[in-house]
Amino acid sequence: MEIVEGRQTAAYDKDVVVFLIGMRVNKLRAWRQWLPVTKAMSPMLRELSADPDSGLLGFRVFPGLRTTTMLQYWESAEKLQAFANDPDRTHRPAWTQFFKLAYKGGNVGIWHETYVVPAGNFETVYGNMPLLGLGTIAGVVPANTRGRTARERLTKK
> 21 and 70 in contact (C-beta within 8 Å)?
yes
Name the residue with higher pLDDT: 33 or 101: 33
| Residue percentage of the chain with pLDDT more than 90 | 72
How far apart CA 55 and CA 47 sit, in angstroms, is 12
Residue ranges of the chain that CATH labels 3.30.70.100: 16-117
How far apart CA 76 and CA 128 sit, in angstroms, is 30
DSSP 16: E
Q: What's the CATH class of domain 16-117?
A: alpha beta
Q: What is the pLDDT of residues 12-54, one digit of tens each?
A: 999 999 999 999 999 999 898 888 888 889 999 999 999 999 9
Indicate the range of 31-35, 70-74, 120-124 predicted with least confidence: 31-35
| pLDDT higher than threshold 80 for residue 151 | yes
